[in-house]
Structure 1
């Protein structure tokens, strides 16, 4: 099964991130997930395989749920440094009462530059997606449903 996070202007931008589960492996109490990640933008795409654990998903979900209580700019990280997320809430959206509908600019970086025992390495490509808080919550929930059950 594939889980996608699309840009709010997807019809024009063709920007999205797709995640597809390759393999799920339980080692003692640890659930390891091999996930194919694909950044698509226009007619181009960048693909890589990352490894996440169930704990990575739980940490990311907790951080996403805390976004309304944080500042307008933040960082979302997991234990595994394969993907990192930087976000900022687009200013001047006062007319939008429900926080879930507010637009958020999300920068998703493949290989945050901390691979190899947390030594600085070159950072991989970054995909910019404009999304909403509602879509981010739906995306993390879909990962849980598709990959962890």
Structure 2
């Protein structure tokens, strides 16, 4: 340990609060091209699931490369994400290369999912592509910048 209180190895999981689990699950399933690994969303109409952490409150989760992205359906239907409030500003998902970003952009276009432009961010050593999830949470796809 190098003087800090903890020495984290990375993130184990992130869980996003969503308004409509069916809609959010469908979006992320389409984005990732696979079903969730853990899924209690079919129990969302059971009133006991909302208080049950073992059934992830009626949510689901996607795991890839040792990191889990969970969806927790506890927000009211009229709530919307606000990056200017305390908590999450955005979530960045790493991809392997800038070519992967261009391929993701093509696939998002083919799927009719609105997206931002691919942006080169030299000071951060990244190239990014932004997309909004159904609750307007900003997802960035990021690749390491390669100098040509």
Alignment TM-score > 0.5, same fold: no
Please give the TM-score of this superposition, normalised by the length of structure 2: 0.27
Greater C-alpha radius of gyration: 2
Name the structure where strand makes up a greater proportion of residues: 1
Please give the TM-score of this superposition, normalised by the length of structure 1: 0.27
